[in-house]
């Protein structure tokens, strides 16, 4: 995982570049089978979908673009708005940095995917508590939003798609608390126990996303899940500035995530009656790993693997315009740009803002400050976490705790309450863990696995955060 040396190296590499010369609605309703234009599963059953973009901020443009694209795909496939529930902060389309106000694209020269997207749970309503309430169809637990929930029945099929930042055992949400792996699995178990779906497919885009299911998702829930990465690696973003295929120069942020655009672009062009979940898994797996092995991830699958033989049509429907486009095993997708790590995408955005701003302008100074602040925060967190590890384990060997990985098939941590407690304790003394700090979730889980108690974490965090000095990037080196 992340280490202090890697953080310093990234810092020095970025600052070594010549910035001027280099380019770098109410209630939910079930659809009746006789409604015209609605594709249903066999003789009975309704398709449902929950789409979640777990971030906010223009630097994370791609996550909301992914979700908006998924919505358009499902609508073309025959799902109705009543059966599609969307979580997104909704601060991108009309963001002052968006070069095309009111329009979101998910690929270079792509069509607008924002138009018509339901605003079910936006802003502070896009939180983990509402997400769980929606999945469990618990309207009384909702705190704002449209009120739509997964009011599914025993013959229905559910598709859940999540895209955002993640780290070992957790996913981010735009507001409030994290999605912890054990809590998510408990919610899925409760949904299964309620006998309100026949089968479920879960597509998950995030770094270390495999850790959300590995050793946790039982086979007997009739849930099939695929993840953008295994339990120990980053996922990657694509369609980034100054890369091939050409992204319009006014965009200084990445437009999509590699795993996500892979499954959606595959779905966009095929008759999904003829393509199985397993076939799409193989397409996405090849595209995210083989095309750029040094900058790719390993797509994984979990849960009830027998569902792989089912048609994508059962969950996504199909676009009638693709009726004659049959899936072919060796059908190749459009070439994509060289991927960038999810963890570096923020830096890339701030870098391009700085590089493009006129020399000596206020925009230049503002962009420089954003870039330096992000680098300083990362270095600061690296320093704190290493100091805490040394204090807790009283030796340099304590640093090994930051990156120790449990054997494949084991969950991240034995005591999830301990993990939550240590995270809260750290944040009480050191402030928010932040997106970058989430990369240390494995280190904190390892502390739990080693028997560290809340009181020990409190003492170490207090000492580390009172005694640290920020390492500052020098503005004079950037021009």
User: Residue 29 and residue 382: Cα distance in Å, rounded?
Assistant: 49
Write out the catalytic residue numbers.
Answer: 165, 207
Q: What share of the chain is helix, strand, coil (3-state, %, to 5)?
A: 45, 10, 45
- Which pLDDT score is estimated for 299? 97
pLDDT reported for residue 242: 72
What b-and-e string marks burial along 388-420, b requiring 16 or more CB atoms within 10 Å of the CB?
A: bbbbbbeeeebbebbeeebeeeebbbeebebbb
Class of domain 362-467: mainly alpha
Domain ranges of the chain: 21-341, 362-467
Q: What's the rounded Cα separation, in Å, for the pair 18 and 98?
A: 26
Residue among 159, 67, 156, 50 nearest 116 (CA): 67
The residues of the chain scoring below 70 in pLDDT are 1-43, 244-245, 290-293, 326-337, 396-397, 467-479
Contacts of 187 (CB under 8 A, 6+ apart): 132, 135, 136
Radius of gyration of the chain (CA): 22
| Cis, bond preceding 245 (omega within 30 deg of 0) | yes
DSSP letter for each residue of 374-409: HHHHHHHHHHHHHHHHHHHHSSGGGGGGGT--PPTT
Burial label, 274 (beta-carbon count in 10 A; 0-12, 13-18, 19+): middle
Q: Name the CATH code of domain 21-341 (choices 3.40.50.1970, 3.10.20.30, 3.40.50.300, 3.40.50.1460).
A: 3.40.50.1460
> Which residue carries 């009656």 as its tokens?
273
Four-CA torsion 369, 375, 376, 377, nearest 10 degrees: 110
pLDDT recorded at residue 328: 61
> Nearest 5°: CA angle at 255, between 284 and 232?
50
For residues 186 and 84, what is the distance between their CA atoms, to the nearest angstrom? 22
What does the pLDDT look like over 196-224, one tens digit per residue?
A: 999 999 999 999 999 999 999 999 999 99
- The CA distances from residue 430 to 131, 381, 439, 469, in Å, are 28, 9, 16, 13
How far apart are alpha carbons 460 and 470 in whole angstroms? 18
């Amino acid at each position: 995982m992340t280490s202090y040396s890697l953080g310093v190296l990234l810092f020095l590499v970025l600052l070594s570049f010549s910035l001027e010369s280099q380019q770098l609605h109410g209630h939910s309703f079930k659809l009746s089978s006789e409604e015209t234009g609605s594709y249903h599963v066999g003789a009975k059953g309704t398709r449902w979908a929950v789409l979640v973009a777990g971030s906010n901020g223009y630097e994370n443009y791609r996550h909301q673009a992914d979700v908006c694209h998924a919505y358009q795909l499902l609508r073309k496939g025959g799902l109705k708005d009543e059966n599609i529930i969307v979580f997104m902060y909704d601060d991108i389309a009309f963001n002052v940095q968006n070069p095309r106000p009111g329009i979101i694209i998910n690929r270079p020269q792509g069509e607008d995917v924002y138009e018509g997207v339901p605003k079910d749970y936006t802003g502070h309503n896009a939180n983990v508590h509402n997400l769980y309430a929606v999945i469990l169809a618990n309207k009384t637990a909702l705190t704002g939003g449209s009120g739509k929930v997964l009011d599914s029945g025993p013959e229905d099929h559910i598709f859940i798609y999540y895209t955002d930042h993640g780290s070992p055992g957790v996913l981010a949400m735009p507001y409030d608390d994290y999605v912890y792996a054990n809590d998510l699995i408990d919610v899925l178990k409760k949904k299964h126990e309620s006998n309100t779906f026949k089968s479920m497919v879960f597509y998950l885009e995030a770094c270390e996303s495999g850790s959300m299911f590995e050793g946790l998702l039982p086979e007997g829930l009739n849930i099939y899940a695929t993840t953008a990465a295994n339990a120990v690696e980053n996922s990657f973003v694509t369609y980034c500035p100054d890369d091939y295929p050409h992204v319009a120069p006014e965009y200084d942020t990445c437009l999509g995530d590699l795993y996500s655009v892979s499954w959606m672009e595959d779905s966009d062009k095929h008759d999904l009656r003829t393509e199985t979940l397993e076939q799409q898994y193989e397409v996405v797996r090849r595209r995210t790993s083989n095309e750029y092995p040094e900058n790719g991830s390993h797509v994984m699958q979990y849960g009830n693997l027998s569902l792989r033989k089912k048609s994508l049509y059962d969950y996504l429907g199909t676009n009638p315009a693709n009726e004659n486009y049959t899936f072919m095993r060796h059908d190749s997708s459009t070439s994509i740009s060289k991927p960038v790590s999810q963890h570096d995408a923020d830096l890339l955005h701030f870098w391009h803002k700085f590089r493009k701003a006129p020399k000596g302008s206020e925009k230049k100074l503002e962009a420089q400050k954003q870039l330096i602040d992000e680098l300083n925060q990362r270095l600061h967190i690296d320093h704190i976490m290493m100091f805490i590890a040394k204090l807790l384990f009283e030796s340099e060997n304590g640093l090994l705790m930051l990156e120790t990985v449990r054997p494949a098939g084991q969950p991240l941590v034995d005591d999830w309450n301990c993990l939550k407690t240590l995270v809260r304790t750290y944040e009480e003394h050191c402030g928010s863990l932040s997106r970058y700090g989430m990369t240390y979730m494995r280190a904190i889980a390892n502390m739990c696995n080693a028997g560290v108690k809340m009181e020990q974490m409190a003492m170490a965090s207090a000492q580390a955060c009172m005694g640290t000095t920020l390492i500052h990037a020098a503005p004079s080196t950037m021009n």
